Structure 1
Amino acid sequence: MIGALRHREHRSVPEIHALLLGRGVAIAERSVTNLVARYDEVLAAQLAD
């Protein structure tokens, strides 16, 4: 979901964080940043194959 929000909908980290909080997901904004970075790594590896 985080990857889709970031890349398909071009949402910022604070926007993604707010959406997750609105859905009842207790998560720190820094954790969202880390998950976006992890998603970017996975996406880059997939595109490299």
Structure 2
Amino acid sequence: MFNYLTRINKIMKKPMNKLSFGEGYSLGLYYFMFIFILQILIRVM
């Protein structure tokens, strides 16, 4: 989990012009999944 967050942090620190469309798209997808899973965990708790 921590490795995942540091990876996102590295991608986020990149200048936007260096960020390819594929990377941006997958990052958005990962972010959506992360929020979705987080909401499920909160509901379960």
- Identity over the aligned pairs, expressed in percent? 6
Larger relative contact order (CA 8 Å, sep ≥ 6): 1
Q: Unmatched 5+ residue regions in structure 1?
A: 19-27
4+ long deviations beyond 6 Å: none
Q: Unmatched 5+ residue regions in structure 2?
A: 41-45
**Greater per-residue helix proportion:** 2
Partner AA of 1:37 in structure 2: G
CA deviation after TM superposition for structure 1 residue 36, in Å = 0.2
User: TM-score, normalized by length of structure 1?
Assistant: 0.52
The count of residues paired between Structure 1 and Structure 2 equals 32
User: TM-score, normalized by length of structure 2?
Assistant: 0.56
